[in-house]
Amino acid sequence: MAAKQERTFIAIKPDGVQRGLVGDIIKRFEQKGFRLVAMKFPPVIASEDLLKQHYIDLKDRPFYNGLVKYMGSGPVVAMVWEGLNVVKTGRVMLGETNPADSKPGTIRGDFCIEVGRNIIHGSDSVESANKEISLWFKPEELVSYQSCAFSWIYE
């Protein structure tokens, strides 16, 4: 079972932090059965350089500069979650990038209205998760442990 575990990077954006949604978002991941293995708390104000590296894949998009500016405008809670298929499942839990396309029950479907204020970022692949995790966390900031609930979550 341990070989199938993976990690994902989740960041609660400035709008999610300012709106007091950090606890609600963490609760959803914990209730699903995923393990929190790293978190920047208190929240951090990300540097422009870090954000440019983080969103490098979007650098040619017209919204890139605005996104980098917005993400640096307030505190961000950066986290690493671990579990079976956590990248794919985490993306489903987040909902669509555009909250108008997100189903009720998803984070964006329940808490967001506009795409520019969609409160949360989640890695879209294992490869991008590994890249994003290494940008935001040092290896020694990641913990490895087995939850006492492990056998109640996994077969």
Chain segment 56-80, per-residue pLDDT in tens: 999 999 999 999 999 999 999 999 9
Q: What range does the domain containing 33 cover?
A: 7-144
- Note whether residue 151 is domain-resident: no
Ranges under pLDDT 70 in the chain: 1-3
19 is in an annotated binding site: no
Separation between Cα atoms, residue 103 and residue 91, nearest integer Å: 12
- Note whether residue 152 is domain-resident: no
pTM of the full structure:
0.94
Whole-number pLDDT of residue 133: 98
98 is in an annotated binding site: no
Number of independent structural domains in the chain:
1
- Out of 6, 34, 121, 122, the active site residue is 121
Asked if 121 is an active-site residue, the reply is yes
